[in-house]
């Protein structure tokens, strides 16, 4: 057996373990008895340890080196697979076990203190511990960077947007920051001319679920190879071949459950469209967080809140909710789903203002990691930047730098992938519409075959074969750029779709 | 770290993997999407391979040998744990991987042919392949016996009734076989005097479920550390701390779902009562199939079909099913739940005739394994023995030797544990009632604290510390014997409870 074939065997095992982990996590969130978390914790830890041991074993490194030495004999998918194997191995061994353990301990403490700080609405409760986490993460980023041959921040971001560097991200976000503030102003002015009527009522989980299932079926979610459940939050879990989507139903909100389900269905369809013959290999996995997010946003934001989709959706709302009246007109539903609100909280932000929240975090986390911004000064820096980028001054720490748990968890380099995902989604959408001219009419009829088919062929089926920038270029013929995203927003919010 | 402490670490890992396997199996039976079995198969295989690799590693054997050499320094629980570690390791390594692989292949074929044979109601379709399985199992039993220092059949049975040997089982079953045929005759005669009225109606799964939940709560099933679901069959899965029970609801049968749930709750309470401090070690596990079955039968058969339980249950039936009338009188419910029918099918057999089905299989599987009975002659031998033990002559292979899949799966030495379980249950019940004189009145009131408390103290909390015969003696003060079982049956079926 060649070293490469032996590697495929090892990664097949890894894939099976990760699939088991996915089921255990899904179960913990959806079906596990309330008090069984301790037992589950042991199971997750044992499997994660096993995965790490597999990736960091000297044998695996030897096999990778030997396979790389005879790389020229491999087909291009195999070469890409080998590249991804090395990436996984590099990420796994770059951080020494002692630092992994310290990070686990300190982030666990930081998470607890984050909760305390939230309760007291006081960042200073968290600050010293967050400082610890930032220092450890700085070490981790430096070591990871050395292994990957990247700048420290790029090394962290590489996990979420493989192949995209902060130089490009910064440029992209700079372009957005030049246009978005005025665009938000213009959209808000325009919105005053025709505000949405609020719709009220009680929408039972059972009805919301039936609506979701009908829409998900139309979009192509395969219920024989996936599940759809209610949970405390919307998420996607599982492996291709067994994909599980959840959403949260708020009985007072007829839309949030459906939009959450659409968001997750976007990711699920991505996973289900990954190349089957590479299913259990690194190259057969999704291309990271930013690409996943692009698939989610394309379905939830771009399609799911379009005039065409609203035309398709309205009869379903009437049928499942038994509602009618002016609040449920196509025009009002469209306005309702696309209302712009300048607010301090990222999770509540609409499509148009969301990007500013991301850019603020991106700028701040780089300054935190470089040491330029001391952790204790974060609240002022946060508020100042929120004002500059969005014209918002958070009234308190909870509305400001305490709103997200990510940094306390040691998660740096993750936030930009949300923003990149939105930009990628718009660029894919533009490319898709150039080739599939009939999609508008199809969506009105509740047909999504052309949309999903195009995505499958140009994105999903590529798995992790290319780096993010190459994949976008391959799919759309153009390098990743902000043009389509800004054009999409301008058309929608200034020209009304 | 001493070798013994290192062993505890290894078995902690094993326990976590097995817990993960349990969740994956439960999920496959209850929540997994229909078409995802292929993905799940890979995950189960990877984890099972990992468990086997752990148990069969040379390092583990070395650690066991070194720990055994300094055994005198260990506390008695630790010594018992070490004994169970060796037992697990012996069972794992006794069969060489080549034979394991052949058995997997041949039993898979035999299972498929068993289905074919069932469809054609013709044992000869299965016979040649079953012959293969018997031969391979004979090899396996010989090797296992050599490792464990046991006769081949005892080595197989040791997995299900640890410490009980076929000499004792044969003697026990001989005692039963002397009394049971006449007892069945007498019970059937007596039954003619007061036959049960059938109760009819539609009992929705939702109502049956609500009834089950109320009863399970009363018995002590902890819903915060366990689940109760509907599935294609009744089973218990999981680990202590996360125990999951299922049952099957037949809308035309108001009792089968509840009795299935009670059966499984008996096992679940056993698992939940295992010693917490040994939870992740071999000595902290249940004492095998026969003991599990004893806990299930004690709750389902002895308690769940007693006059006292019927008195408790009747108001709940009326409440949940909204029924009434002569069919729902205490007297008729009691008769209905304890009707004796001489039939050919084990799975349909009542408490009184069930044991004969087991004894027939026990005798036949020993003769098959020894080679005394050629596989092709099984149908005649089966029918002849069924006639002798139960006065039944199956009308066809499906009603005879084709009714169970066990042997096609290579499962030999398993059947007696059902029968032993019933005998153990009766002996425990006799011991329990001698010490807890108020249980009858408590059960009528729906109180099960004394029953479960006694079982917890005398059975559950012992885990796998003792072999089966020692455990029974420890709990009841007497060696395992048939007396209590026959007394129980005579009192119930001849003296009316």
CA-CA distance, B326 to B199, in Å (whole number)?
Answer: 9
Handedness of CA A260, A262, A263, A265 (dihedral sign): positive
Local structure of B227: helix, strand or coil: strand
The answer to whether the beta carbons of residues A166 and A151 sit under 8 Å apart is yes
pLDDT at A497: 55
Q: Which of A17, A23, A280 sits opposite B27 (nearest CB)?
A: A23
CB A241 to CB B38 under 8 A? yes
Local structure of B358: helix, strand or coil: helix
Q: Across the beta sheet with A236-239, what order do the strands follow?
A: A226-230, A242-247, A236-239
Which chain A residue is nearest to residue B20, measuring alpha carbons? A43
CB A242 to CB B17 under 8 A? no
Q: What are phi and psi of B403, to 5 degrees?
A: -75, -25
- Residues from chain B that touch A227, judged by Cβ atoms under 8 A, are 31, 33
Which chain A residue is nearest to residue B228, measuring alpha carbons? A33
Q: List, for residues A47-69, the tens digit of each pLDDT value.
A: 999 999 999 999 999 999 999 99
Q: Which of A19, A39, A223 sits opposite B242 (nearest CB)?
A: A39
Q: Which of A23, A34, A43 sits opposite B224 (nearest CB)?
A: A34
pLDDT at A387: 96
pLDDT at B107: 92
Mean pLDDT of A70-81: 96
CB B39 to CB A239 under 8 A? yes
Does B227 lie at the interface with A, CB-CB under 8 angstroms?
A: yes
Q: Extract the tokens encoding B138.
A: 């004979």
CB B36 to CB A223 under 8 A? no
CA-CA distance, B88 to B60, in Å (whole number)?
Answer: 11
Residues of A (127-186) whose Cβ lies below 8 Å from B: none
Bridge partners of A227?
Answer: A244
CB A39 to CB B224 under 8 A? no
End-to-end CA gap in chain A: 57
User: From its phi and psi, is residue B238 left (phi > 0), alpha (psi between -120 and 50) or beta?
Assistant: left
Q: Which of A23, A31, A43 sits opposite B227 (nearest CB)?
A: A31
Q: Extract the tokens encoding B379.
A: 């149908």
Burial B5-19 (b: 16+ CB within 10 A, else e): ebbbebbebbbbbbb
Domain formed by A123-497, architecture: Orthogonal Bundle (1.10)
Query: Does position A138 have pLDDT exceeding 70, yes or no?
Result: yes
How many Cβ atoms are within 10 Å of B52's Cβ, its own excluded? 14
Helical (H) or strand (E) element with A441 = helix A439-444
How many Cβ atoms are within 10 Å of A139's Cβ, its own excluded? 15
Does B25 lie at the interface with A, CB-CB under 8 angstroms?
A: no
Does A52 lie at the interface with B, CB-CB under 8 angstroms?
A: no
Does B469 lie at the interface with A, CB-CB under 8 angstroms?
A: no
Q: Which of B19, B43, B223 sits opposite A43 (nearest CB)?
A: B19
Does A31 lie at the interface with B, CB-CB under 8 angstroms?
A: yes
How many Cβ atoms are within 10 Å of B495's Cβ, its own excluded? 8
CA-CA distance, A25 to A218, in Å (whole number)?
Answer: 28
- C-alpha distances (whole Å) from A12 to each of A19, A22, A45, A280 are 10, 15, 20, 5
Handedness of CA B368, B373, B375, B378 (dihedral sign): negative
Residue with tokens 């990436």: A87
Which residue among the candidates B237, B264, B351, B363 is catalytic per the annotation?
A: B264
What's the gap in Å between the CA of A425 and the closest CA on chain B? 29
CB B47 to CB A239 under 8 A? no
CB B227 to CB A33 under 8 A? yes
Pick A108 or A3 by higher pLDDT. Answer: A3
CB A23 to CB B19 under 8 A? no
* Number of cross-chain residue pairs from A and B with Cβ atoms under 8 Å apart: 97
- Residues from chain B that touch A36, judged by Cβ atoms under 8 A, are 225, 241-242
Does B29 lie at the interface with A, CB-CB under 8 angstroms?
A: no
pLDDT at B137: 97
CB B17 to CB A226 under 8 A? no
Does A24 lie at the interface with B, CB-CB under 8 angstroms?
A: yes
CB B19 to CB A226 under 8 A? no
Of the residues A24, A31, A246, the best mutation for testing chain B's interface (the one with the most B CB atoms within 10 Å of its CB) is A31
pLDDT at B390: 95
CB B23 to CB A19 under 8 A? no
- Residues from chain A that touch B13, judged by Cβ atoms under 8 A, are 46
Does B277 lie at the interface with A, CB-CB under 8 angstroms?
A: no
Does B22 lie at the interface with A, CB-CB under 8 angstroms?
A: no
What's the gap in Å between the CA of A51 and the closest CA on chain B? 12
Does A39 lie at the interface with B, CB-CB under 8 angstroms?
A: yes
The answer to whether the beta carbons of residues B456 and B209 sit under 8 Å apart is no
What's the gap in Å between the CA of B324 and the closest CA on chain A? 33
The answer to whether the beta carbons of residues A221 and A268 sit under 8 Å apart is yes
CATH number 3.20.20.80 is the correct assignment for the domain at B121-199+280-497: no
pLDDT at A491: 96
CA-CA distance, B497 to B495, in Å (whole number)?
Answer: 6
Helical (H) or strand (E) element with B226 = strand B226-230
Q: List, for residues A321-340, the tens digit of each pLDDT value.
A: 999 999 999 999 999 999 99
Mean pLDDT of A442-457: 98
Q: Where are the alpha helices (DSSP H) in B220-304?
A: 256-273, 289-297
Closest CA to A485 of A350, A336, A294, A334: A294
CA-CA distance, A390 to A188, in Å (whole number)?
Answer: 12
- Tell me the percentage of chain B whose pLDDT exceeds 70: 100
Annotation says B264 is catalytic: yes
Positions of chain B with pLDDT under 70 = 497
Q: Extract the tokens encoding B281.
A: 């070690």
- Residues from chain B that touch A35, judged by Cβ atoms under 8 A, are 222, 224-225
Compute the residue count for chain A.
497
Which chain A residue is nearest to residue B26, measuring alpha carbons? A27
- Cβ-count burial of A265 within 10 angstroms (0-12 exposed, 13-18 middle, 19+ buried)? buried
What's the gap in Å between the CA of A45 and the closest CA on chain B? 9
DSSP string, A88-145: HHHHHHHS-HHHHHHHHHHHHHHHHHHHHHHHHT-GGGTHHHHHHHHHHHHHHHHHHH
CB B39 to CB A224 under 8 A? no
CA-CA distance, A141 to A191, in Å (whole number)?
Answer: 44
Which residue among the candidates A106, A159, A264, A308 is catalytic per the annotation?
A: A264
- Residues from chain A that touch B281, judged by Cβ atoms under 8 A, are none
Listed by start position, the domains of chain B span: 3-94, 121-199+280-497
The answer to whether the beta carbons of residues B431 and B458 sit under 8 Å apart is yes
Average pLDDT, chain A: 96
């Amino acid at each position: 057996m060649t070293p490469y074939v032996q590697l495929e065997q090892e990664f097949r095992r890894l894939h099976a373990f990760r699939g088991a982990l996915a089921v255990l996590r899904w179960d913990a969130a959806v079906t596990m008895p309330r008090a069984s978390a301790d037992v589950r914790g042991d199971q997750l830890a044992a499997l994660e340890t096993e995965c790490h041991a597999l990736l960091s074993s000297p044998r695996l490194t030897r096999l990778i080196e030997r396979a790389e030495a005879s790389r020229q004999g491999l087909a291009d998918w195999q070469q890409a697979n080998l590249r991804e194997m090395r990436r996984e191995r590099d990420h796994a061994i770059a951080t020494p076990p002692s630092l992994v353990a310290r990070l686990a301990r300190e982030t666990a403490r930081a998470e607890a203190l984050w909760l305390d700080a939230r309760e007291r609405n006081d960042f200073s409760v968290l600050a010293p511990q967050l400082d610890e986490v930032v220092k450890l993460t700085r070490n981790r980023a430096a070591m990871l960077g050395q292994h990957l041959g990247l700048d420290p921040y790029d090394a962290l971001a590489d996990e979420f947007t493989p192949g995209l560097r902060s130089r490009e991200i910064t440029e992209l976000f700079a372009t957005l920051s030049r246009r978005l503030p005025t665009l938000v102003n213009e959209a808000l002015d325009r919105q005053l001319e025709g505000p949405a009527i609020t719709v009220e009522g009680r929408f039972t989980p059972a009805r919301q679920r039936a609506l979701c299932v009908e829409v998900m079926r139309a979009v192509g979610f395969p219920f024989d190879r996936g599940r759809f459940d209610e949970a405390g939050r919307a998420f996607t879990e599982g492996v291709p071949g067994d994909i599980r989507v959840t959403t949260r139903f708020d009985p007072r909100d007829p839309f949030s459950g459906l939009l959450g389900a659409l968001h997750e269905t976007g990711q699920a369809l991505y996973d289900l469209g990954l190349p089957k013959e590479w299913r259990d290999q690194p190259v057969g996995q999704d291309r990271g967080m930013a690409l996943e997010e692009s698939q989610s946003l394309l379905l939830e934001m771009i399609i799911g809140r379009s005039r065409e989709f609203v035309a398709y959706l309205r009869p379903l709302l009437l049928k499942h909710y038994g509602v009618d009246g002016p609040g449920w007109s196509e025009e009002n539903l469209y306005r309702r789903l696309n209302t712009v609100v300048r607010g301090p909280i990222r999770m509540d932000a609409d499509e148009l203002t969301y990007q500013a929240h991301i850019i603020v975090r991106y700028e701040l986390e780089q300054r935190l990691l470089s040491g330029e911004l001391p952790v204790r000064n974060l609240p002022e820096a946060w508020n100042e930047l929120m004002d500059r980028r969005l014209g918002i001054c958070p009234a308190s720490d909870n509305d400001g730098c305490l709103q997200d748990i990510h940094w306390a968890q040691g998660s740096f380099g993750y936030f930009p992938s949300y923003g990149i995902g939105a930009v990628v989604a718009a660029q894919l959408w533009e490319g898709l519409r150039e080739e599939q001219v009939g999609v508008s009419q199809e969506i009105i009829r509740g047909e999504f075959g052309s949309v999903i088919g195009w995505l499958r062929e140009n994105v999903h089926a590529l798995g992790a074969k290319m780096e993010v920038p190459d994949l976008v270029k391959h799919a759309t013929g153009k390098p990743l750029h902000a043009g389509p995203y800004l054009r999409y927003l301008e058309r929608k919010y200034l020209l009304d779709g």
